[in-house]
Structure 1
Amino acid sequence: MTVVDFFNVSPNKKYVLNISVVLDNNTSYPIHATRIFIPADQILFPDKNGKATGNFDFNLTIE
């Protein structure tokens, strides 16, 4: 399981989480993307753009 913190997010808005692999030579390859929705009750600082935490499970095989 991976825990991701999101900062400066707006409530009730859709976002795209992109995952990339960065190799030793600093080459970056996108390997996964998923849409997420952050409801207002998950925002830690609701009076303005705040922070939310998401838990994700990924099964990725990198060869």
Structure 2
Amino acid sequence: MADKLKVTLVKSPIGCVPKHRRTVEALGLKKVNKTVELPDNAAVRGMVNQVSYLVKVEEA
């Protein structure tokens, strides 16, 4: 497993469940097509799994 994950927001969270919208914001994603590098741990993987229909994940 890589020690970092590249997470990119590919779909707008407008109209999504409010909890999912807050999760996207907590991941540090504010605009579509923006990418953040996050540590690869259980907490981040759980957040990404919850909003998997909004984001694209790559191991960095």
Give the alignment's TM-score, normalised by structure 1.
0.27
* Bigger Rg, structure 1 or 2: 1
Give the alignment's TM-score, normalised by structure 2.
0.28
Structure with more relative contact order (C-alpha pairs < 8 Å, separation 6 or more): 2
Bigger strand share: 1
